[in-house]
Chain A
Amino acid sequence: MELAQSDLQEKAAELSLASKYKSEFLANMSHELRTPLNSLLLLAQALAENKEGNLSQEQVEFSQIIHASGSDLLNLINEILDLAKIEAGRIDLRPAKVATEELAQGISGFFEHMANQKGLELKVSVDPEAPTELFSDRQRIEQILKNLVANAIKFTDEGGVEVIFHPPREDMNKTKLGMGDGDFLAVSVSDTGIGIDPHEQRVIFEAFQQVDGSTSRRYGGTGLGLSISRELAHLLGGAIEVKSRPGQGSTFTVYLALSATLQGMDPVKPPAQARPSFVQESSTPVWRDSKAAGAQAAEPKAEIEDDRQDISSGERMILIVEDDPNFARILYSKCHAKGFKCLAAASGEAGLELAREYLPDAVILDLHLPGLDGWSVLEAMKEDTRTRHIPVHIMSVEQASSESLRKGAVGHATKPVDSQELEAAFDKLAQVAAQGTRRVLVVEDNEQLRRNTVSVIGGGDVEVDEADTAARAMEALREQNYDCIVLDLGLPDMDGRQLLEALQQEGMDIPPVIVYTARDMTREEETALRENTESIIIKGVRSQERLLDEVSLFLHRMVSKMPARKRQIIRNLHDSEAMLAGKKVMVVDDDMRTTFAVAALLSELGMEVIKANNGQKALQLLEDDPGVDLVLMDIMMPVMDGYQAMEKIRAQERLVDLPIIALTAKAMPVDREKCLQAGANDYLPKPVDRDKLISMIRVWLYR
C-alpha cells in the first residue's frame, strides 16, 4: 500500500517535471525560432520597400508574400507557446467582475472596421434577459471571443456576422459539453460563411489532430486559435459548441460560467474531459531534434567581417554584439547607410574586448549570447570609466522593460524588429552620441549621500563637481558654468534657500536647480521653493531614478537651446497696460503651473501678485491684506472650492465690489452661469489665454 503510494507520488513528480521541461523547451524553442525569423522579416520588408527601385512589381509582391508568411509563422509560434502554457497549467486566471455590456462594446469596437472593410455587417447585441455581469477573467474571455469573431469574418465573404450575448438555451447539454453546475452566460457568434462538414466539426478544436491537414487551414485561422479557445473556455468553467451546415454558415457558442472561481483558482487541474494533448502526442520526434539545435546554438558562431582594418581616426563607429550572423549582416549594412563604420562581435567576451579597445561611438547589443550574456556586457561597460558613456541599444527577443533603461541602455527593441524600429534605434544612438559633455554641480554635505548621487548621475558625457558647503558651492558657481545644480537643503553653513537668494542677489545666472532633500515640507514651503527651483525630489527608495530623469531632462534641454530662464522679455508697455502697474492681484488656484504662469505674466506688467492654494486661504489673505484689487479664482480646489469661496467673499459687506474673475475648466454655459451666480464678475476658460486675461483684468480694473 505504502509502496504503491510512494510509487504514485514518484510518478506524479516525474510527470510534473516532464511537463515543466516541455514548457521550458517550448519557451526556448520559440526564442530559437524567432532569431532566424527576425532577419527574414526585416530583409523581406526591406526588399518590398524597393528603395533602389530596381525590382519588378512582381518581385515586390513576392517579397511582401515572404513578409506576410513570416508574420503568420511568428503568430503560430506564439500560439504554440500559449497552448503549451495552458496545457501545462501555467496560466494564471485573474477573475474580476466583468460587465456583459463592456464585453459587447469591446467586440464591436475591435471588429467594426475589419468587418466594414470586407463589406460585411457586424451586429453585436445583448439580449435583455442575459446576465448583466459575471465574475471571470475578462482578458481570457476576450481572447476567446476575438478568436471566434475573427474566424467568422475571415470565412465569410457575403452577408454578415452576428454576435449575441444571451442566456443559455433550454436544450444546452451540460454533461455532453463537460460543464459543471451553475449559471452561464452564452455568447453566440454566427456567420453566413462557408460552413463546416459534420465530420469535421469534431476535429477543428483538436490541435494537430485534423484528419486532413487542410481543415485547419480552412477553418482554424492560423491553426491553433480554436484549440486555445476551447482550453480557455474549460478553464473558465465553460465550453464551446459548434452548429453548422456546409454552405449555410456556422454558429459557435461559448458558455461562460457566471462565477469562474472554481476552475479558475485551480488552473492546474486538467479539465474533466479526456482529450489528446498535442504536447504529449507530438513531442517525441521534435524533442530530440531540438535538443541538438539547442546545443548548436550554444557554440559561438563565426564573426562576420567588419571594418576594423579600415578605420581612420575621427571616423564614427558602431559596435555590434550579435551572435546571429544574418542579423549582424543587416546591422552592418545599416551602419554604413547611416555613415558609421562597423565593428562586429559574436560573443559577449569579444564584444567587451572590442568596446574597450576601440571605444566606439555606440553599441548595439543582443542579450542571448554564447558565454557572457548581454546583461553582463552592459554591466561591465557601465563599470568601466572608459566605456560607461558609450550609448548602448539593446536588440533582443527578450521583452523590453524598464529594466534595460535602469541598467543604462538608451533603448530596447524586441525582436523581430521592423525597419522603423531599426531606424529609430540608430537615430537614438546617433543623437545621444552627438551630445557633448555636460556639467552638473552636486551640493550635499553628507559625503556618503553625495557620492551616491554623483554615481547615479555622473559618468561619460556628464561631468560632476561636488560641494559640501554653501560657500564652496558659490565658489564653484562663480568659476564654472553648470548646466544643472542638485541641491540639498540642509547645509552646515547656510540653508539651501538662503544660498539661492544669495546667488540671486549677486546677479548670477543660475542654472536649473533640482532640490534633493529628505525633508517633508508643507504646501506653502513647496510653493515658495518652487519660485526659484525647477523641481523638488524627496529622497526615498525610488528617488534616484527620478533624479536621473530630471537631471537628464535639464541637460537635454540645454542642447535644444531652450530659452534660458533669465532671458529678459523686453516689452513695450502699452499705455493701457501701464495702468495695471502697482495693482495687487490675488491668484487662487491649487495648480502651481497656473499660478506661476499667471504670476509671471502679471509681474511682467508691474503688478503685485499674492497666491492662495484654496478658498479658505484666500479668505484669510483677504482679511489680512485689505489692498487686493482683483481676484482670479479657480473652481476645483481642495478644502474650499471656488464657488464657496466666492459666496463667502460676497457675503462680506466690504468685499461686495471686489472684482473676481473665475478660472474654470468647465465649458458648458450652465457652468459659467454657476460662476456668475456664486459671485464672479466674469469667467475665463482654462488653460488661460494670456491676451484674454490681460484685457479682462483691464476691463475690471478700469471701472
Chain B
Amino acid sequence: MQAGQIEQIEIDLLLEAVYRRYGYDFRSYARASIERRVRQFLSRQGLGSIMELTDQVLHDPKLFSSLARYFSIAVTELFRDPWAYRVLREKVVPVLQTWPHFKVWHAGCSSGEEVYSLAILLREEEVYHRSTIYATDFNDSVLQQAREGIYEIDRLKDATRNYQGAGGKASFSDYYHARYGAAVMDGSLRERIVFSNHNLVTDTVFSEMHLIFCRNVLIYFDRGLQNRVLKLFDESLVNGGFLCLGSKEDIQFTEVADRYEVVDRQARIFKKKARP
C-alpha cells in the first residue's frame, strides 16, 4: 500500500474520531482542502503523524477547537464583493419591500461583518424595521465576535471603500464608534439580529426565509453536502425568495438549479421560482 493511501486512512480515522467525540462532522467537507489543512496543522503543531494528532484531539478539547478553526477558514470583510450589495440594493430590496415583514438568514456568518453590512444597507433603504435577521455559524468563537461587533480599526479603510462601492448613501463612520484602536459597530444595527449556533451539516430548517446569504461556505463542502445544504435553503425559502452565494459558488449543476432564476450571475443572486 502506498503512503498516500495510508494517509487517507489516517485522515478518515481522524475525522471519524472528531465526529464521534465532538459531534462536528467534517467527513463531507471537500477532501483536498481538509488534507491540506491537516498537513499544515501538523507542521504548525510540530506533530509527527496524523495518528498522533488523532490521539491528542480525542483527549484535548482545546486542541480540537484550534483544529476546527483550521478546517473552516473564517476570512470575511465588511461589504465584501461590494457589487453584490449594489445588486441587492437595486434588485432585491424593492422586492423584499413587498412583504409586510421579512426574514434574512446569514448561514456561516463568521465574525459578522456580512451581517452588519446588510443591516446597514437595510437601514439605508428604510426597511430594517420590517426585518428579522438570523446570523448563524457553527463556530461559537466567531459567533461571539459577531455578537460583539468589534473590528480592528485598520480594516476600516478597506471597509469604507467597499461601502462606497456598494452604493452607500451616508458616511460609513456613522455606523461605528472608534475606541481604543477598535471599531464598535453601532448597537442599533443589532436590534433585529438573532445570533445563534447552527451547523449546516447536521441541523435543520428553523424558519421561513425571504433572503438567505450563504457566501463562501459551500466551497468547503463536497458535492453531496452542497446539495444537502442547498435543499435545506430551498425548504426554508418562500416562493420568490432570494439566495445569495459567494462569488465562487453557483447553483448551476446542482440538484436545485432548475428551481431558481438568475437575478445577477456575477453577484451570485438567485430567486426561487414561484411554484405550487
Q: Does B204 contact A (CB under 8 A)?
A: yes
Q: Is the CB of B216 within 8 A of A102?
A: yes
Q: Does B254 contact A (CB under 8 A)?
A: no
Interface centre among B192, B240, B263 (most CB of A within 10 A): B240
CA–CA, A685 and B208, complex, Å = 16
Closest chain A residue to B235, Cβ basis: A687
Q: Is the CB of A686 within 8 A of B194?
A: no
Q: Does B177 contact A (CB under 8 A)?
A: no
Q: With A592-B208, A669-B23 given, is the CB distance from A108 to B263 under 8 Å?
A: no
Q: Does B145 contact A (CB under 8 A)?
A: no
Within 8 Å by CB of A536, from B82, B100, B136, B276, lies B100
Within 8 Å by CB of B275, from A405, A553, A589, A686, lies A553
Q: Is the CB of B100 within 8 A of A542?
A: no
Q: Is the CB of B75 within 8 A of A133?
A: yes
Q: Does A546 contact B (CB under 8 A)?
A: yes
Closest chain A residue to B95, Cβ basis: A542
Q: Is the CB of B73 within 8 A of A99?
A: yes
Mark contacts of B191-229 with chain A using CB atoms, 8 A cut-off: 1 yes-contact digit, 0 otherwise.
010101111001111111000000010011000000000
Within 8 A of B (CB), among A531-567: 536-543, 545-546, 549-550, 552-553, 556-557, 560, 562
CA–CA, A590 and B194, complex, Å = 12
Note all chain A residues with C-beta closer than 8 A to B82.
94, 96
Q: Is the CB of B194 within 8 A of A97?
A: no
Mark contacts of B239-276 with chain A using CB atoms, 8 A cut-off: 1 yes-contact digit, 0 otherwise.
11000000110000000000001110010000000111
Within 8 Å by CB of A641, from B33, B196, B261, lies B196
Within 8 Å by CB of A94, from B31, B83, B136, B158, lies B83
Mark contacts of B124-135 with chain A using CB atoms, 8 A cut-off: 1 yes-contact digit, 0 otherwise.
000000101010
Within 8 Å by CB of B75, from A99, A106, A664, lies A99
CA–CA, A556 and B276, complex, Å = 7
CA–CA, A562 and B207, complex, Å = 24
Note all chain B residues with C-beta closer than 8 A to A539.
98
Q: Does A139 contact B (CB under 8 A)?
A: yes
CA–CA, A532 and B99, complex, Å = 16
Tell me how far the C-beta of A483 lies from the nearest C-beta in chain B, rounded to whole angstroms.
12
CA–CA, A593 and B73, complex, Å = 34
Closest chain B residue to A121, Cβ basis: B4
Mark contacts of A518-531 with chain B using CB atoms, 8 A cut-off: 1 yes-contact digit, 0 otherwise.
00110101100000
Q: Is the CB of A109 within 8 A of B219?
A: yes
Note all chain B residues with C-beta closer than 8 A to A139.
247, 266
Note all chain B residues with C-beta closer than 8 A to A667.
199, 202-204
CA–CA, A543 and B96, complex, Å = 9
Within 8 A of A (CB), among B10-31: 23, 30-31
CA–CA, A538 and B134, complex, Å = 23
Within 8 A of A (CB), among B150-199: 158, 162, 192, 194, 196-199
Q: With A101-B73, A521-B100, A546-B240 given, is the CB distance from A686 to B205 under 8 Å?
A: yes
Tell me how far the C-beta of A112 lies from the nearest C-beta in chain B, rounded to whole angstroms.
6
Interface centre among A105, A521, A637, A669 (most CB of B within 10 A): A105
Q: With A112-B32, A124-B32, A668-B202 given, is the CB distance from A552 to B94 under 8 Å?
A: no
CA–CA, A139 and B194, complex, Å = 33
Q: Does B69 contact A (CB under 8 A)?
A: no
Note all chain B residues with C-beta closer than 8 A to A665.
198, 203-206
Closest chain B residue to A666, Cβ basis: B203
Closest chain B residue to A122, Cβ basis: B32
Note all chain A residues with C-beta closer than 8 A to B97.
538, 540-543
Q: Is the CB of B220 within 8 A of A685?
A: no
Q: Is the CB of B206 within 8 A of A591?
A: yes
Q: Does B43 contact A (CB under 8 A)?
A: yes
Mark contacts of A112-125 with chain B using CB atoms, 8 A cut-off: 1 yes-contact digit, 0 otherwise.
10000000001011
CA–CA, A669 and B23, complex, Å = 8
Note all chain B residues with C-beta closer than 8 A to A543.
97-98
Note all chain A residues with C-beta closer than 8 A to B194.
636-638, 641
Note all chain B residues with C-beta closer than 8 A to A106.
219, 248
Within 8 A of B (CB), among A481-521: 520-521
Q: Does A73 contact B (CB under 8 A)?
A: no
Within 8 Å by CB of B100, from A126, A520, A550, A670, lies A520
Q: With A102-B248, A105-B220, A553-B276 given, is the CB distance from A125 to B36 under 8 Å?
A: yes
Q: Does A335 contact B (CB under 8 A)?
A: no
Mark contacts of B64-91 with chain A using CB atoms, 8 A cut-off: 1 yes-contact digit, 0 otherwise.
0000000001010100111100000000
Q: Does A648 contact B (CB under 8 A)?
A: no
Q: Is the CB of A549 within 8 A of B239?
A: yes
CA–CA, A560 and B275, complex, Å = 11
Within 8 A of B (CB), among A649-703: 664-671, 685-687
Tell me how far the C-beta of A65 lies from the nearest C-beta in chain B, rounded to whole angstroms.
25
Note all chain A residues with C-beta closer than 8 A to B197.
666, 671
Q: Does B40 contact A (CB under 8 A)?
A: yes
Note all chain B residues with C-beta closer than 8 A to A99.
73, 75
CA–CA, A398 and B177, complex, Å = 48
Q: Is the CB of B98 within 8 A of A590?
A: no
Q: Does A142 contact B (CB under 8 A)?
A: yes
Q: With A552-B274, A665-B198, A666-B203 given, is the CB distance from A124 to B36 under 8 Å?
A: yes
Note all chain B residues with C-beta closer than 8 A to A405.
261
Q: Is the CB of A523 within 8 A of B101?
A: yes
CA–CA, A128 and B37, complex, Å = 11
Note all chain B residues with C-beta closer than 8 A to A175.
none
Note all chain A residues with C-beta closer than 8 A to B235.
687
Q: Does A362 contact B (CB under 8 A)?
A: no
Q: Does A252 contact B (CB under 8 A)?
A: no
Note all chain A residues with C-beta closer than 8 A to B239.
549-550, 553
Q: With A526-B101, A666-B198 given, is the CB distance from A549 to B274 under 8 Å?
A: yes
CA–CA, A641 and B276, complex, Å = 32
Mark contacts of A588-605 with chain B using CB atoms, 8 A cut-off: 1 yes-contact digit, 0 otherwise.
011111100000000000
Within 8 A of B (CB), among A165-216: none
Q: With A106-B248, A562-B276, A667-B199 given, is the CB distance from A636 to B204 under 8 Å?
A: no
Give residues in B with beta carbon < 8 Å to A: 23, 30-33, 36, 39-40, 43-44, 73, 75, 77, 80-83, 94-95, 97-101, 130, 132, 134, 136, 158, 162, 192, 194, 196-199, 202-208, 216, 219-220, 235, 239-240, 247-248, 261-263, 266, 274-276
Apart from A546-B95, A636-B136: 17 A-B pairs, beta carbons within 8 A: A94-B82, A102-B248, A104-B36, A105-B33, A108-B32, A109-B30, A124-B32, A126-B36, A133-B75, A525-B100, A526-B101, A536-B100, A538-B97, A542-B94, A591-B208, A634-B206, A667-B204
A-B pairs with lowest CB-CB distance, top 7 = A665-B206, A108-B32, A591-B207, A542-B94, A557-B276, A667-B202, A99-B75
15 A-B residue contacts at CB 8 Å? A96-B81, A96-B82, A99-B75, A102-B248, A128-B43, A402-B261, A537-B98, A539-B98, A540-B94, A542-B95, A636-B134, A667-B204, A668-B23, A685-B204, A686-B204
